[in-house]
A and B are shown apart, each in its own frame.
Chain A
Amino acid sequence: SYELTQPPSVSVSPGQTASITCSGENLGDKYVCWYQQKPGQSPVLVIYQDSRRPSGIPERLSGSKSGNTATLTISGTQAMDEAEYYCQAGDTSTAVFGSGTKVTVL
């Protein structure tokens, strides 16, 4: 079955940059999106189509992709960015989520 691999955790100091990677076979041929999930809440879409931001998502969150690895970057990290982040890829019929990365703002 298809898998997306993320690091379990990333730590970052306030104001610094956090990067979360997501890798998978042939990921370069698929659209990648990212979700932010805070405790007790539903996931929120923060990046779609590899690098596009939905309205209302701060510019400090950005996405990119190179080859089979996608990256979510949080620039100027704030305390409110502390959350679990999931990547997701799919086609018209199926979806796969990454294992999730816990971002801790120290």
Chain B
Amino acid sequence: QLQLQESGPGLVKPSETLSLTCTVSGGSISSSSYNWGWIRQPPGKGLEWIGSIYYSGTTYYNPSLESRVTISVDTSKNQFSLKLSSVTAADTAVYYCAIYRLSSRYFNFWGQGTLVTVSS
């Protein structure tokens, strides 16, 4: 069964860049059946889709974050990554990576999530 694990700093200073990596195990990130996505959830709030990437490198971003987001994939390491620039306190959230099944348009496997706090 596919498993995902987020990793990266839990504390980022305002105006700096948040960087997270998701490592995929139990399957290949080069599958044509999936996109690989990032979702976040501010404390006490709802889920927000950040963006997704196909194994070929094609990216899709939430228009509200597009100017600050970069998602990339490293098929040799079975990993994909998120960079969010110019962060503020509003970017404090639990960040999840997840697998998006293209045929049915749902996230069927999620990582455990990692809390990233933006604070000086």
Taking a contact as CB atoms under 8 Å apart, the answer to whether B102 and A92 are in contact is yes
Which among B46, B60, B107 is the interface contact of A93 at CB below 8 angstroms?
B60
Flag whether A66 is at the interface (Cβ < 8 A).
no
Q: How large is the interface on B (under 10, 10 to 19, 20 to 34, 35 or more residues)?
A: 20 to 34
A-B contact count (CB 8 A): 69
Shortest A28–chain B CB gap in Å is 14
Taking a contact as CB atoms under 8 Å apart, the answer to whether B46 and A97 are in contact is yes
Which residues of chain A come closer than 8 Å to B76, judged between CB atoms? none
Which residues of chain A come closer than 8 Å to B55, judged between CB atoms? none
Can you list 7 contacts pairing A with B, beta carbon distance less than 8 Å?
A: A1-B64, A37-B47, A42-B112, A44-B110, A88-B106, A92-B102, A95-B105
Shortest A66–chain B CB gap in Å is 19
Shortest A25–chain B CB gap in Å is 16
Taking a contact as CB atoms under 8 Å apart, the answer to whether A94 and B106 are in contact is no
Flag whether A45 is at the interface (Cβ < 8 A).
yes
Which among A30, A33, A89, A97 is the interface contact of B47 at CB below 8 angstroms?
A97
Q: Mark B98-117, 1 if CB is under 8 A from A, else 0.
A: 00111011111011110000
Which residues of chain B come closer than 8 Å to A45, judged between CB atoms? 106-108
Flag whether A67 is at the interface (Cβ < 8 A).
no
